[in-house]
Amino acid sequence: MLDRAQARKLVFDTLRDELSIEPLLEIIEADELDLLPGADSVRLMRAVAELETQLDMQFDDERIREATTIGDIVDFVVGGEPTR
């Protein structure tokens, strides 16, 4: 299981990759997902799916739909349930 700092880094890196966010652009946990550069529902779901794959975890679909900030996604990573 990752601690919050490790989870934050993983989420930030994954969002940067999936949304093509430039490395110099600062992102923080309070940032709203739908306002991130390059964000749309498909790309955000791909980022979540990538996190699930990397961590071998499954996040609750209802909670994912209710997520509004990067911090919400970090919460999923910290509290996610293993798929096996």
| pLDDT of res. 61 | 87
On whether the CB atoms of residues 10 and 51 are closer than 8 A, the answer is yes
Residue 8 reports pLDDT greater than 70: yes
Q: What is the CATH number of domain 4-21+29-82?
A: 1.10.1200.10
Residue carrying structure tokens 């550069």: 37
| pLDDT of res. 81 | 57
Q: What angle do CA 42, 77, 36 make, to 5 degrees?
A: 40
**Residues in contact with 81: Cβ distance below 8 Å, sequence separation at least 6, in sequence order:** 57, 58
Q: What are the Cα distances from residue 50, in Å, to 24, 56, 69, 79?
A: 22, 10, 17, 16
Q: Give pLDDT tens digits for 9-24.
A: 999 999 999 999 998 9
**Domain residue ranges of the chain, discontinuous segments joined by +:** 4-21+29-82
Residue 83 reports pLDDT greater than 70: no
On whether the CB atoms of residues 10 and 2 are closer than 8 A, the answer is yes
Residue 84 reports pLDDT greater than 90: no
Residue 32 reports pLDDT greater than 70: yes
Q: Give pLDDT tens digits for 34-79.
A: 999 999 999 999 999 999 999 998 888 888 999 999 999 999 899 8
